């Protein structure tokens, strides 16, 4: 027979377990990051250094800028599979309309530096508008619409460079991509500013509240007077512009613009958002979650390079971590639904 003492002793444990389960989406990524840092610090003496921290920050900068836009999209319970393609297209447009050396064999039409930058921004904005129009006006699911845009972006890139490589970008973008402000690379500063702006918008503006409302309960948001189509269309454009900025800086940082250069950034940016704990079902998450996810991926990729491991195994490990994040994401959503149901009852 259970005594009163047993009941009193069990209550705190049950409460603690409920607290952990309720915050599992936030706790798991941070615990994973902490584990990876400790593990790689012991596994490789060259990992836990300030120089390597700078390498990690630089390596995740382009992904981080793309991930900001994706965070807005996923918080609205949508998806954007065209982010890497738009980044690549924008970077190639920038390089294509910048004067190239004769040795590149690219028959481009060079523009003044400012005009090339403006044209690139307009290009990514226009591609985002097409995504927004397809999703909100025609009613195409974002998965299908952005998958089509992925192919469209790849086609534009192929038409411009035709298998060649463009090396030059305007000096201002080249500085942001490869220059430094003291010991801090400009590309890291640009990524940090983008993440900060995304956080401020989501946390302190009416638009940010509407994003969470649309993702949490679209029908309730409509009844509250929120223009759901406008919010969804806006986040698609934000995602495209963030991708375009990342593409321009990425081309400058990598030193060239070419076909399929940013293909790996699609999985990395989605993984950063999801691994960080932002819900795929919308309404739950933040830029803070995305930052944790970026560091998980950055530490993992960098740490695996510091230890002797089969390069093919790296891909498997990354896939397993993403799968674990998806499982936690779904489990957390089920807990949220169950708690909402029990509260209503």
d(Cα 162, Cα 88) in Å, to the nearest integer? 14
Residue 280's pLDDT is 85
Residue 153's pLDDT is 94
Cβ count near 111 (within 10 Å): 16
Cβ count near 226 (within 10 Å): 18
Backbone angles phi, psi at 250, to 5 degrees: -65, -40
pLDDT-based confidence at residue 10 (cuts at 50, 70, 90) = very low
* 68: pLDDT strictly greater than 90: yes
| Beta-carbon contacts of residue 148 (< 8 Å; ≥ 6 apart) | 134, 140
Residue 28's pLDDT is 80
Backbone angles phi, psi at 180, to 5 degrees: -140, 150
Catalogue all structural domains in the chain, each as residue range(s) with its CATH number: 43-334 (1.10.3470)
**Model's pTM, two decimal places?**
0.88
User: Mean pLDDT over residues 60-74, rounded?
Assistant: 96
- Please choose, from the candidates 322, 294, 313, the residue with its C-alpha nearest in 3D space to the C-alpha of residue 67: 294
pLDDT digits (tens, 9 = 90+) for 201-240: 999 999 999 999 999 999 999 999 999 999 999 999 999 9
* 295: pLDDT strictly greater than 50: yes
pLDDT-based confidence at residue 298 (cuts at 50, 70, 90) = very high
pLDDT digits (tens, 9 = 90+) for 123-182: 999 999 999 999 999 999 999 999 999 999 999 999 988 888 887 889 999 999 999 998
């Amino acid at each position: 027979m259970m005594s009163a003492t047993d009941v009193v002793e069990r209550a705190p444990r049950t409460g603690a377990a409920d607290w952990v389960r309720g915050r599992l989406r936030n706790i798991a990524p941070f615990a994973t990051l902490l584990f990876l840092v400790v593990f790689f610090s012991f596994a490789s003496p060259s990992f836990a250094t300030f120089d390597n921290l700078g390498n990690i920050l630089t390596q995740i900068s382009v992904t981080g800028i793309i991930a900001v836009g994706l965070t807005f999209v996923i918080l609205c319970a949508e998806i954007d599979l065209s982010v890497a393609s738009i980044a690549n297209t924008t970077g190639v447009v920038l390089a294509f309309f910048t004067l190239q050396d004769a040795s590149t064999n690219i028959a481009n039409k060079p523009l003044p530096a400012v005009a090339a930058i403006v044209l690139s921004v307009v290009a990514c904005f226009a591609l985002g508008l097409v995504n927004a129009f397809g999703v909100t006006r025609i009613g195409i699911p974002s998965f299908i619409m952005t998958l089509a845009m992925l192919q469209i972006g790849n086609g534009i890139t192929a038409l411009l460079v035709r298998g060649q490589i463009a090396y030059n970008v305007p000096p201002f973008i080249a500085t942001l991509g490869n220059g430094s402000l003291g010991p801090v690379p400009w590309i890291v500063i640009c990524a940090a500013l983008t993440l900060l702006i995304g956080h401020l918008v989501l946390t302190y503006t009416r638009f940010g509240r509407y994003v969470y409302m649309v993702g949490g309960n679209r029908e309730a948001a409509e009844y509250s007077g929120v223009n759901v189509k406008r919010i969804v269309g806006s986040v698609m454009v934000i995602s495209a512009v963030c991708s375009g900025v990342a593409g321009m800086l990425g081309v400058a940082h990598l030193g060239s613009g070419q076909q399929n250069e940013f293909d790996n950034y699609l999985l990395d940016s989605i993984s950063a958002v999801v691994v960080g704990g932002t819900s795929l079902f919308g309404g739950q998450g933040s830029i803070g979650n995305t930052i944790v996810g970026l560091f998980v991926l950055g530490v993992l990729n960098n740490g695996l390079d510091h230890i002797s491991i089969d390069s093919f195994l790296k891909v498997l490990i990354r896939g397993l971590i993403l799968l674990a994040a998806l499982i936690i994401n779904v489990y957390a959503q089920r807990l949220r639904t169950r708690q909402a149901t029990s509260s209503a009852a």
